[in-house]
Amino acid sequence: MTEIDRHESTDVLIIGSRCAGSAAAIGFARAGRSVVAIDRAKFPSDTLSTHVNFPSAVAELQAVGALGRILAHDPPKCTHGMVEADGVRCLQRFATVDGIDYGICLPRPELDHALVETAREAGAEVRERTALQEILWTGKRVSGAVVRERDGALVQIDCKLLVGADGRRSTVARLVGAERPYRGSRNERGCAFWYMDDPLVGTEWRERLIQLRSGTTHALIFPCPEGRVMCLFMGPAEDIPRYRKDPEAMWEAMLDANPAVRVRLGGATNFSKLRSTGDNVAFHRRSSGPGWALAGDAGHFKDPIIGQGIRDAVRFGRILGETCAPALGDPKALDAATRAVEARRDRECNATYHWGNRESRVFGVSPIVQEALRDLDGQDPPLLLHMFDRVQKPHHVLNPLRGAKYAARALMRRGADRPAILREVVEEARIDVGAWREELRPRFRNTRLTASERGDYVWPPRTPGTTTPEPPADRAAGIAADPTAGGAADAAAAPEPAALT
């Protein structure tokens, strides 16, 4: 038995205090509930991220009350978004989402610290340099946890709800028996990025969030505060070791391969250290159970190429707090509420999950995409940006009618590789059928893979030579007793919870 130095109790204990954890803490605390949120980090601190926030994400930061602190860092307000594919450009002005008509890119040390301070202002207690040691159970229900504080003290914290907001490799998910996703997709693209001094400060480029496509690599370029800019390359995952071995050589190789990046960033100086990852497996995990819930990347992760992670972490962290706070005194009602939040998240995120899987494939510049960019350039409403802003779903914007039009135009161009275009049409149609089917016939915790998913992913991602401990046998048995927590058949058959408004 672990020797406990101190015993406490709170309504809600949150493991992880970045985007999702802080947003959940804000939602619960504003409803008058006592909240303790812990994190291993001391804020401000960095974490791997694309950092971009489209207007819908900025609106979510506004909804939790953190936007003032974020704007105090003076990030450039990017009023335009642009996608260019081998010289074919679509430039559009963002529409307004909840009063916000601009996107921003703020590095995670500043962004997360702003959220943590907002959570504290709302009444949550955020403890830094504090780590989860074990989860406590009363029968088959999570009832608290033991945490180790920065001074080494072991503290038992009893709670009515334990929230795991501790990222893709969530310890909470593992300890409650939900670590393995019930569906997922292997990424083909990796991420490698630097910060640097922007050579085009004072120009219109500081007002644009852009994606430049050439060959098999996409370059994402986002202006940052203090005259800095972020450049992220998303190419074949197998290229990531080359970035790590010789970052300078890979930077020059990418400028040669994508001349538009050289136009935008040629002459950039004062580079940061390279950040990179080759592991971006997208997934859905079971995200609620007796006395526990998962938030943010701990429960659901989409490929970062579409830049939706921060928005969804903040949004559904907040919704978790607002929805579950009134039910904390009734275990049955609480479990129904956490389950309903999970279902709402999946309904709202399913289309972008498939979109991210589609974009994380490695492919060259598509003639059909080029036709779409030609057609959508400058349009109002900005349909292309509506996808990034979640105003419209990707398979609604690029619907069968538009897709057929763009394919026909691509086929008629001189020198077109018609067999390749027709193969692309068939593949994209299969992906769209899966997205439409799930929208029209939603199934809670649906385990049926669609054409967007590559189900041969490796899980769990482990550092070589390490092992992942399993939850105690009696707790695993208790988890399995949950009628929605069993294998694939149980998950697929589970009824859809009542919709939330």
Q: Mapping DSSP to helix (H, G, I), strand (E, B) and coil, where does residue 325 land?
A: helix
Confidence category of residue 463, pLDDT binned at 50, 70, 90: very low
CA distance linking residue 435 with residue 396, whole number of Å:
10
Phi, psi of 36, deg, nearest 5: -120, 125
Is 493 a residue whose pLDDT tops 60?
no
Is residue 2 very low, low, confident or very high in pLDDT (cuts 50, 70, 90)? Answer: low
pLDDT of residue 366: 95
Of the two residues 34 and 47, the one the predictor is more confident about is: 34
Type of residue at 125: E
Higher-scoring residue by pLDDT: 484, 71? 71
Calculate the average pLDDT of the chain. Answer: 91
Per residue in 44-73, pLDDT (tens digit) is 999 888 789 999 999 999 999 999 999 999
Given this model, what pLDDT does residue 476 score?
Answer: 37
Task: Report strand pairing: 217-223 vs 228-234.
Answer: antiparallel
Q: Which range is least confidently modeled, 9-18, 19-28, 48-57, 120-129?
A: 48-57
Q: Which is more confidently placed, 69 or 489?
A: 69
Query: Which candidate, 164, 166, 130, 176, places its Cα nearest to that of 149?
Result: 130
Closest to 355 (Cα-Cα) out of 389, 402, 404:
389
Q: Is the pLDDT of residue 477 over 60?
A: no
Alpha carbon distance, N-terminus to C-terminus of the chain = 44
Non-local (6+) Cβ contacts of 414 within 8 A are: none
- pLDDT per residue over 396-452, tens digit each? 999 999 999 999 999 999 999 999 999 999 999 999 999 999 999 999 999 999 999
* Of 472 and 14, the one with more pLDDT: 14
pLDDT tens for residues 339-392?
999 999 999 999 999 999 999 999 999 999 999 999 999 999 999 999 999 999
Question: Which is more confidently placed, 50 or 229?
Answer: 229
- The confidence score (pLDDT) of residue 472 equals 40
Chain centroid to Cα 254, Å, comes to 26
Spans of all domains in the chain? 6-48+56-73+105-183+280-359+445-493, 191-277, 367-440
Nearest to 478 by CA among 142, 86, 75, 20: 142
* Span 35-50, average pLDDT: 93
- Give all strands of the β-sheet with 300-301 in edge-to-edge order: 183-185, 282-284, 300-301
* pLDDT 10s digits, 74-107: 999 999 999 999 999 999 999 999 999 999 999 9
pTM equals 0.92
SS3 (DSSP) at 189: strand
Across 2-153, the runs of DSSP E, i.e. the strands, are 6-15, 35-38, 52-53, 80-85, 88-93, 104-105, 125-127, 131-138, 141-148
Secondary structure (3-state) at 179: coil
Q: What is the pLDDT of residue 469?
A: 38
Write the CATH number of the domain with boundaries 6-48+56-73+105-183+280-359+445-493: 3.50.50.60
Unique residue bearing structure tokens 């590095």:
107
Which residues make Cβ contacts (< 8 Å) with residue 163, sequence separation at least 6?
Answer: 12, 13, 14, 15, 21, 24, 172, 292, 293, 294, 295, 320
Q: For residue 33, is pLDDT > 60?
A: yes
Residue 490 clears pLDDT 50, i.e. is over it: no
Whole-number Å distance between alpha carbons of 265 and 258 = 11
Distance CA 28, CA 341 (A): 14
